Amino acid sequence: MRACEAVTACRSGTSHRGRQSQSSGTSWRAALKCVRAYRYYLRTGCRMDSARVEAGHPGVPDAPHSVEEMLEFAGGFGRFQMWMMGVGMVAFLACGTNMLMPEILMPRVTEAFGIDKLSADLVGSIFFIGYIVGLPLWGILSDSRGRRPTTIIACFVMTLFGSCVFLAPVYSVLLLMRFMCGFGTCGVFNGVLVLTMEYCDSSKRAIAKSTFACFWSGSLFFLAFTGWLLQNVSWRWLITLQVPSIVATLVLGAWLPESARFYLVLNRLDQAMQLIIEVAETNQAELPFEEQHALEEPERYIMSNSNVEVGSPGSEGVNVDATDHTSSTGMRDFHRNSYGATKENTADDDDGGHDYKGFERAKLAREPSSSSSFDSALGADDEEMSVSAWQSVRELFSRAVLPMTIGVCWIHFSMSFSYYAIAFAGELISVSNFYVGVALGAVVEIPTHFLMFVFANLIGRKRTVVFFVAIVFLCVLLQSIPAITDASASAQTALTLIARMGSLGSANLMYVIAAECFPSTCRSFGMNFGAMAAHLGAVLAPVILDSISWGLILVCVLCCTVMASLLLLNETNGQELADK
């Protein structure tokens, strides 16, 4: 009898602890919902619970939400975003391996093909030429045909031709393969970066870029280790360097999602809502509305974010802090313009009632139609699945966005030019072992990536760029004084190292600023256009330094122009991404 009582008591205690644990988990979820609701109220001035039950569908909001708000409902920065960063790490490791491969490849190719130093240097230069040529093409395709298919195709091109480099029978074929490898690498680099930025909030974008940059620098470790292991075998065995590219192709093809913002720009609201629901499921978050009804009538729940100011002050846009999302005239005008519809019976706006009518155009846009085989190959199922290839070009050079385009491109060019000019002007690390020197080159860059995201979130994007540029200016200015550099070789090396870290930090941060400045309609092309200016600076740096004797003074002048160019950009820290 006592044994039975003991078992009963044990079961009762276990059941009580289970209910207590379940109650604790429920309270944590409720607290998390309260925090998200409070953050949403601070950002938009609206309450998450200001929804009414209509036609048996709970959670219909008073006004459609932006992607940024929907991602907040879907768990904020959760498992989905962590998975996106993991995919990006693999992709950046592959991109870095292909771009920095000449560090290991050129000495072996010189011996294998019996070419001179100039021809060996061309192996690295031809990659950058292909990179620059591919940037505008992949950017336009990404904005017009989709982030996901463009990135996957670019990764396939990078892997295929990167592997063919080690199978080239003659030197000319090797150059062609390197050109095509560079052509594909740029599409992977910027495609993955844009997708990750569009799924992260403001505070996590700098962290994502910093993490990717660490894996980019980490590719030098992989190159040095693989080259050291295979230094006594044929150079063609270096094809094992393509392992990260093969893995990246498989991972991107299997798990890379499309951008919800891209679907919104095309008015594909149902597909954008489907992606938001998948994000919520991955993050194990509960959306505050009925998912099935949101898929049937997505125009009630989600919209393009036209409230974020794009361009210089005074451009078209609505200040999100000063806008009443439930009854403002600007919001009603936005519904007319974006969905081709008018809200009838708006006299009941004050009591939260809405009669969403006139969305015939939005519904017709979701009906399937005929498509070409090329569109189907790129993931475009109908005419609304793609936009004009020139739309992103026109948007990038429009009156509202042009100042940002000029500022981003010039700062990219100046900082990249400074980085390579400083690297060519002084020897950073002198060691007897070649492979150790390559690995140490990555070690000195990794601290810069961490400083970049800390300061970018702490003091703002523009102030962080000013901080890094000021470091470059002071170090280069001190290097120009013979009394300092001639006195100690270690002082010269230290100044060169610090200046290189400053230019690297500002150059990496410009990718984040570009993603936050440009709207979704031209974000990929805008970032690629800025990257094209950066690589143009990298190509011109050694040529100009060989032609003039005052190259370091030119770097100081460029730093001053960067300070002035920052006036063309708005501070984007804490700002939502604009869609249109």
DSSP 46-106: --TT--EEETTEEEE-SSPBPHHHHHHHTTSSSHHHHHHHHHHHHHHHHHHHHHSTHHHHH
The whole-angstrom separation of Cα 534 and Cα 99 is 15
- Apex 95 CA angle, 91 and 99, nearest 5: 175
- Kindly state the percentage of the chain with pLDDT values over 90: 13
**For the residues 65-79, what does the mean pLDDT come to?**
80
Mean per-residue pLDDT for 259-267? 85
Residue position matching structure tokens 């809502």: 273
Q: Which residue has the tokens 């509305």?
A: 289
63 vs 71, higher pLDDT:
71
Average pLDDT of span 158-165: 92
Task: Tell me the two tokens of residue 488.
Answer: 């100690």
SS3 20: helix
Q: Is 90 exceeded by the pLDDT of residue 157?
A: yes
Beta-carbon count within 10 A of 97 CB: 25
Residue 39, token pair as written in the block: 């953050």
pLDDT in tens, 472-497: 888 888 877 777 666 667 777 788 88
pTM of the model: 0.74
Tokens, residue 375? 């569109």
- Give the residue with greater pLDDT, 17 vs 275: 275
Q: In the block, which residue shows the tokens 């200001």?
A: 50
Q: What is the pLDDT of residues 217-246, one digit of tens each?
A: 888 888 888 888 888 888 888 888 888 899
Mean pLDDT, rounded, of the chain: 73
Residue 352 pLDDT > 60: no
Confidence of residue 578 (pLDDT cuts 50, 70, 90): confident
* Dist. CA 505–CA 467, nearest whole Å: 10
Q: For the segment 316-341, what is each residue's pLDDT rounded down to a tens digit?
A: 333 333 333 333 333 333 333 333 33
Q: What is the set of domains in the chain, with CATH numbers?
A: 76-258 (1.20.1250.20), 262-308+324-346+353-384 (no CATH), 390-580 (1.20.1250.20)
CA distances to 94, 106, 221, 477 from 103, in Å: 15, 6, 11, 30
| Structure-model confidence comparison of residues 207 and 10, the more confident one | 207
User: In the predicted model, is pLDDT for residue 214 greater than 50?
Assistant: yes
Q: Residue 405 contacts by C-beta under 8 Å, 6 or more apart in sequence?
A: 396, 397, 526, 529
Q: Counting every residue, how long is the chain? A: 580
**pLDDT band at residue 9 using 50, 70 and 90 as cut-offs:** very low
- CA atoms of 193 and 262, how far apart (whole Å): 14
- Tell me: the pLDDT tens digits for 429-472? 555 555 566 666 667 778 888 888 889 888 888 899 999 999 88
Residue 359, SS3 per DSSP = coil
The tokens describing 355, both together, are: 């009669």
Q: H helices of 283-401, where? A: 291-296, 329-339, 360-365, 373-377, 391-396
- Is the pLDDT at 52 greater than 60? The verdict is no
Looking at residues 143-160, what average pLDDT do you find?
A: 92
SS3 content of the chain, % helix, strand, coil (to 5): 70, 0, 25
Q: What is the pLDDT of residues 365-398, one digit of tens each?
A: 333 333 333 343 344 444 444 566 677 788 888 8
Scan for tokens 């602890």, then name that residue.
17
Inter-CA distances, 343 with 334, 359, 365, Å: 11, 9, 19
Residue 256: left (phi > 0), alpha (psi -120 to 50), or beta?
beta
pLDDT band at residue 137 under the 50/70/90 scheme: very high
**Is the predicted pLDDT of residue 60 greater than 70, yes or no?**
no
